[in-house]
C-alpha cells in the first residue's frame, strides 16, 4: 500500500465495499460512490482526499480482474488497472468524518490485504468499521429493499444494537475484514442489501438508496440523496415493464409480493414507520 497522506479526521468511521462476490447489482460500491460524491455540491463544498492506494501487482490476478482500455474523445487510449483506494471525507455538518475504502475484491493475499487496511485504520484513529455488501435474494422489486445489519461478535452486536451474524459458509473479503476487526478489538458491523435476483441488472439505484438509508439510520445522520429517489422509481418501473412481458415472471413477482407483505406487515405498522419519521426529521433539521 502506498500511503499518500495521514489527514487529521474527526472520530472517523471507515466504510468499505468491493466489486465482485460482495456486490450484487453494484449496490455496495454504488453506495460508496454516492457517499464520495453527494457532498461535492457547492452547498457542502466537501471534496474527498485520496489517502492511500494498494499496489495492484501484489493483490490481483489480472486474468480474473483484467485491466480495461478506455478511448477518450480524442481517440487516445488509456489503461485502467483493478485497484483499491482509500479516501478521507471531511463532513463538517456531522459529528465525525469518513474513511471510504472502495475497490475490487483482491484475488490473493487476503490476510496481508486486511492487515494493511486495519493498520491504516489504526493510524487514522478510526472508531468504527462498517462493511457494505449486496447479495441476490428472493425479494420483489416493487417493495422496499431489505438491508440487514449484523455484528461479527455477540458482544459487539449487542452493544451496537444489530443482529448477531449466524452465517456459515464461504465468505468474501468483507468477512475476512470483519474477523480482523474482532481480533483487534475494533467495533465493526456489516450492512447487506438483498437485491431481487431476477432484476440484478447493474447498477440498481433502489438497492444503492436502501444501503445509503441504512447507513443513515445506523449512524443517525443525514446523507444527501441526490437523484437516487428519482432513479429508483425509474428503475422499478423499468423492471415492472419487463416483468409484464413474461407471464411466468409476472406471476412469480406477484407471489414474492404476497409473501413479502405477509412477513413485513407487523414491522410496517411500527418500527419501519418510526425509521422513516426519524430520517425525515433529520433531513428537516439539517443534522
Q: What is the pLDDT along the chain (287 residues), one digit of tens a residue?
A: 899 999 999 999 999 999 998 999 999 999 999 999 988 766 667 789 999 999 888 899 999 889 999 998 889 999 989 899 999 999 988 889 999 999 999 999 999 999 999 999 999 999 999 999 999 999 889 888 999 999 988 888 888 888 888 888 999 999 999 999 999 999 999 999 999 988 877 799 999 999 999 999 999 999 999 999 999 999 999 989 888 888 888 888 888 888 888 877 655 556 666 666 665 566 665 54
**Amino acid 285: pLDDT:** 58
**Amino acid 274: pLDDT:** 64
- Spacing of C-alpha 274 from chain mean position: 23
Please state, as a whole number, how many other Cβ atoms lie within 10 Å of the Cβ of residue 277: 10
Hey, is 203 helix, strand or coil?
A: coil
Q: For 146-177, what is the HEC assignment?
A: CEEEEECCHHHHHHHCCEECCCCCCCCHHHHH
Under a CB-based contact definition with an 8 Å cutoff, are residues 15 and 181 in contact?
Answer: no
Q: Using alpha carbons, select from 247, 253, 238, 179 the residue that is nearest to residue 204.
A: 238
**Amino acid 206: pLDDT:** 95
Distance CA 207, CA 215 (A): 12
**Amino acid 175: pLDDT:** 95
Q: Total structural domains in the chain? A: 1
What CATH number corresponds to the domain at position 88?
Answer: 3.40.50.10900
Q: Which domain holds residue 157?
A: 2-285
Hey, is 8 helix, strand or coil?
A: coil
Burial of 161 (C-beta count, 10 Å sphere; 0-12/13-18/19+): exposed
Amino acid at each position: 500500500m502506498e500511503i499518500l497522506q495521514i489527514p487529521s479526521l474527526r472520530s472517523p468511521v471507515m466504510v468499505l465495499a468491493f466489486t465482485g462476490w460482495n456486490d450484487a447489482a453494484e449496490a455496495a460500491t454504488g453506495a460508496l460512490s454516492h457517499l464520495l460524491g453527494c457532498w461535492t455540491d457547492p452547498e457542502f463544498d466537501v471534496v474527498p482526499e485520496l489517502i492511500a492506494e494498494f499496489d495492484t501487482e501484489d493483490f490481483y490476478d489480472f486474468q480474473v480482474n483484467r485491466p480495461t482500455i478506455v478511448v477518450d474523445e480524442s481517440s487516445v487510449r488509456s489503461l485502467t488497472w483493478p485497484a483499491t483506494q482509500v479516501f478521507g471525507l471531511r463532513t463538517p455538518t456531522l459529528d465525525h468524518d469518513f474513511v471510504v475504502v472502495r475497490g475490487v475484491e483482491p484475488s490473493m493475499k487476503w490476510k496481508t490485504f486486511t492487515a494493511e487496511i486495519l493498520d491504516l485504520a489504526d493510524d487514522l484513529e478510526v472508531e468504527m468499521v462498517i462493511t457494505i455488501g449486496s447479495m441476490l435474494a428472493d425479494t420483489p422489486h416493487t417493495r422496499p429493499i431489505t438491508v440487514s445489519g449484523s455484528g461479527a461478535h455477540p458482544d459487539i452486536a449487542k452493544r451496537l444494537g444489530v443482529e448477531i451474524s449466524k452465517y456459515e459458509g464461504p465468505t468474501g473479503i468483507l468477512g475476512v475484514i470483519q474477523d480482523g476487526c474482532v481480533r483487534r478489538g475494533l467495533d465493526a458491523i456489516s450492512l447487506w442489501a438483498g437485491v431481487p435476483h431476477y432484476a440484478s441488472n447493474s447498477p440498481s439505484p433502489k438497492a444503492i438508496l436502501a444501503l445509503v438509508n441504512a447507513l443513515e439510520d445506523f449512524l443517525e445522520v443525514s446523507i444527501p440523496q441526490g437523484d437516487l429517489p428519482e432513479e429508483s422509481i425509474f428503475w422499478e418501473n423499468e423492471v415492472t415493464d419487463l416483468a409484464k412481458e413474461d407471464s411466468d415472471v409476472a406471476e412469480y413477482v406477484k407471489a414474492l409480493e404476497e409473501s413479502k407483505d405477509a412477513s413485513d406487515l407487523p414491522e410496517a405498522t411500527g418500527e419501519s414507520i418510526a425509521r422513516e419519521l426519524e430520517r425525515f426529521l433529520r433531513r428537516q433539521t439539517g443534522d
